[in-house]
């Protein structure tokens, strides 16, 4: 039904007696177009689990006397994905390549055309059929019905093809208009996987729902995972527009010159405690840009409007050779059904390098001293009618109080500090 033998007018060979015969040649892959697609068991042409992702397609070239119409395509027009584990499932109306191998019909596609759009490409070989029926939605033949397309396919926004431009600080060589190509998987509506490199340093970008006019992945994409080996995030992604941020004048939308932590990217009068400030403080008040934004070695970035990490049964382990920093633009809440355990050499509630950090108090030691103080004061008595020094249990009260004062020094922790009000 797909791969065929055919001839070309004017191409002949001489046979017995000088008779000219047409030259037959074999076409393995025949262009065609998609009539129906089996996405699930609820699809119109579903015929068992083995038909998932199969299509009903009509070849543009056939050795049949009469070409079949969309309305009378039987099982002999069912085609399966050519590759086992990688499938780019077409939509109705998509151009495809059809072939027959080992008596099994396969398809490849959807095909790219001169339009070169990741979203949709019209089939240049398609000729509309004469349709005497009616559109079940409009009550008349629509343009999309004439072209055999599904009314459910969203073509309102045409997404740009991903590009790759030379980056002087990251790429190899001096040719200003050249770079090396990447391996890219592009979805129809702004989702992509890029596996490539700058010079000989590899990278992987997994991006979802970028702006339709953007020809490059960016920090402003709906979600992005970036794995890089060389170069800062600013060098790889540059500036981006964040529609969710306040520009300071009450208007939504802000152009960010380069990547910045969300906890440090709030309106100035609402940002009292920046994560970058504390990172700088615990690193000897060094330049925070050197620690966070100018880091140019191997790193992974997860960036989205929300990120959820969850385990159904077992544990989550977070470990770092150096420091772990957690920043929040609003609250940081830790909830546990049992114990909150913090094991550290020293614990600070606040910036440890701020002045006037206060030591925490040991509760049991404080209770012991208060009980002893109450007992001492309770025992203090005198039955004389003239002033005499108070005593407790025969011991002068002043001596007892001096002993309590010495014990007070032991109620302060040297390892647990908190910030003053």
Query: Residue 77: what are its φ and ψ, rounded to 5°?
Result: -110, 15
Number of domains comprising the chain:
3
Distance separating alpha carbons of residues 357 and 10, to the nearest angstrom:
96
* Average pLDDT of the residues in 297-310: 97
Angle CA 194–29–97, to nearest 5: 50
* Average pLDDT of the residues in 141-156: 80
Give me the domain span that covers residue 123: 1-158
In this prediction, residue 287 carries a pLDDT of 92
Q: Quick one: 55 and 114 in the same domain?
A: yes
The mean-pLDDT minimum among 6-10, 129-133, 413-417 falls in: 129-133
Residue 177 has pLDDT above 70, yes or no: yes
Q: Quick one: 139 and 205 in the same domain?
A: no
Top-confidence residue, 412 or 116: 116
Q: Quick one: 212 and 130 in the same domain?
A: no
Residue 302 has pLDDT above 50, yes or no: yes
Residue 266 has pLDDT above 80, yes or no: no
* Average pLDDT of the residues in 7-20: 78
Residue 151's pLDDT band (boundaries 50, 70, 90)?
Answer: confident
Closest CA to 321 of 337, 298, 290, 288: 298
| DSSP SS3 for 61 | coil
Residue 391 has pLDDT above 60, yes or no: no
Q: Quick one: 228 and 127 in the same domain?
A: no
Q: Judging by beta carbons within 10 Å of its beta carbon (0-12, 13-18, 19+), is residue 237 exposed, middle or buried?
A: buried
Tens-digit pLDDT profile for residues 308-318: 999 999 999 99
Tens-digit pLDDT profile for residues 190-246: 999 999 999 999 999 999 999 999 999 999 999 999 999 999 999 999 988 877 776
Residue 367 falls within a domain, yes or no?
yes
Residue 168 falls within a domain, yes or no?
no
Last residue of a domain, one of 262, 281, 303: 303
Q: Quick one: 372 and 295 in the same domain?
A: no
Residue 39 falls within a domain, yes or no?
yes
Q: Quick one: 284 and 192 in the same domain?
A: yes
Q: Which residues contact 382 (CB under 8 A, 6 or more apart)?
A: 388, 390, 391
């Amino acid at each position: 039904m797909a791969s065929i033998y055919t001839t070309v007018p004017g191409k002949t060979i001489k046979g017995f007696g000088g008779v000219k015969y047409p030259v037959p040649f074999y076409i393995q892959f025949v262009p065609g177009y998609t009539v129906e697609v089996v996405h699930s068991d609820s699809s119109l042409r579903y015929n068992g689990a083995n038909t998932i992702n199969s299509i009903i397609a009509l070849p543009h070239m056939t050795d049949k006397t009469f070409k079949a119409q969309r309305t009378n395509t039987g099982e002999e027009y069912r085609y399966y994905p050519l590759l086992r584990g990688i499938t780019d499932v077409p939509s109705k109306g998509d151009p495809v390549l059809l072939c027959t191998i080992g008596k099994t019909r396969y398809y490849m596609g959807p095909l790219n055309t001169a339009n070169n759009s990741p979203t949709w490409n019209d089939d240049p070989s398609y000729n509309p059929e004469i349709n005497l029926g009616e559109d079940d939605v409009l009550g008349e033949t629509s343009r999309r019905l004439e072209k055999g397309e599904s009314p459910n396919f969203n073509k309102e926004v045409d997404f740009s093809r991903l590009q790759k431009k030379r980056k002087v600080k990251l790429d190899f060589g001096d040719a200003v208009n050249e770079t090396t190509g990447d391996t890219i998987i592009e979805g129809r509506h702004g989702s992509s996987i890029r596996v490539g490199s700058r010079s000989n340093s590899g990278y992987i970008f997994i991006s979802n729902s970028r702006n339709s006019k953007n020809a490059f992945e960016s920090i402003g994409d709906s979600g992005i995972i970036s794995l890089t080996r060389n170069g800062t995030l600013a060098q790889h992604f540059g500036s981006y527009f964040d529609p969710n941020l306040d520009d300071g004048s009450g208007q939504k939308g802000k152009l960010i010159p380069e990547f910045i932590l969300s906890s440090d990217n709030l309106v100035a009068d609402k940002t009292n405690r920046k994560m970058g400030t504390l990172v700088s403080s615990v690193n000897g008040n060094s330049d925070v840009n050197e620690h966070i934004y100018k880091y140019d070695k191997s790193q992974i970035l997860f960036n989205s409007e929300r990120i959820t990490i969850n385990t159904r049964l077992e544990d989550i382990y977070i470990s770092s050779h150096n420091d772990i920093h957690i920043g929040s633009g609003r609250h940081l809440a830790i909830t546990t059904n049992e114990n909150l355990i913090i094991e550290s050499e020293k614990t600070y509630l606040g910036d440890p390098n701020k002045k006037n950090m206060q030591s925490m108090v040991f509760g049991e030691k404080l209770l012991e001293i208060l009980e002893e103080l109450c007992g001492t004061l309770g025992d203090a008595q005198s039955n004389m009618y003239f002033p005499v020094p108070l005593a407790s249990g025969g011991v002068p009260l002043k001596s007892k109080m001096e002993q309590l004062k010495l014990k007070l020094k032991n109620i302060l922790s040297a390892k647990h500090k908190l910030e003053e009000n």
